[in-house]
Amino acid sequence: MSFTIAISKQRVELRRNPWLFFFILAFILAWANSLIGTTDVANWMLENTLTFIFIFFLVLSYKKYQFSDLSYLLICIYLCLHVYGSKYTYAENPFGYWLKDLFNTSRNHYDRIVHFSFGFLLAYPMREMFLKWLKYPRWVAWLLPIEITLSVSAFYELIEWAVADFFFKAHGDSYLGTQGDIWDAQKDIFVACCGAIIATTIVSLVKRIFKIYEE
């Protein structure tokens, strides 16, 4: 009974917030498209395991805390980028090949784009959560997104290694997407951390320039 009431309340909130409804719809369409057109279903499942967990967290947390529309937009963009990568595998992504031809690079860099986006797009939602939800001091809310991006990125690389080397060896190469680069994991961690630093710096400058003060 309580679960039904909670669902009903969430439906009311969606009606009050058309932007959130639009973000959810856009992601569902992107997610469905990635599954329907995928070239490797097993790899798609591996790539989207953390997506399922992330969505589950957003749904559970919604009862007690709602992010701002800006945060939901950034989260939606990141998730769409991620599921688009899982459609073809990161190493075989068409947009990455287009960039490769355009800039004459030696590899498909779509995986780097998504890793950078992890830090750049999710640093602000994390900061908002620490500041407005958990009531951390402002300096902590600025620093933690960078530290968490760095630690989660490193932990994710460990998960990739374990999955590829122990659990799903047949799909290891497509899941890792190293493309022959022995420093792929370190570079992925580095660009994610850079993304978080750039995002927090931009937000800090905007708030200083326009004198936006927070509690």
| pLDDT tens column, 87-119 | 988 888 899 999 999 999 888 889 999 999 999
**Cα atoms in the 13 Å half-sphere on the side-chain side of 26:** 16
The pLDDT tens digits for 161-209 are: 777 676 566 555 555 566 767 788 889 999 999 999 999 999 988 888 8
Residue-wise pLDDT tens digits, 133-171:
999 998 888 899 999 999 999 998 888 777 767 656 655
Give the pLDDT score at 17. 80
- 8 Å CB contact between 186 and 193: no
Cα–Cα distance between 58 and 20 in angstroms, integer?
12
Instruction: Enter the pTM of the model.
Output: 0.84
Cα–Cα distance for residue pair 151/130, rounded to 1 Å = 17
Distance CA 170, CA 140 (A): 42
| Average pLDDT score over residue span 35-53 | 85
Contact yes or no for 118/65 (Cβ under 8 A): no
Q: Residue ranges of the domains in the chain? A: 2-209
What is the predicted pLDDT for the residue at 42?
A: 80
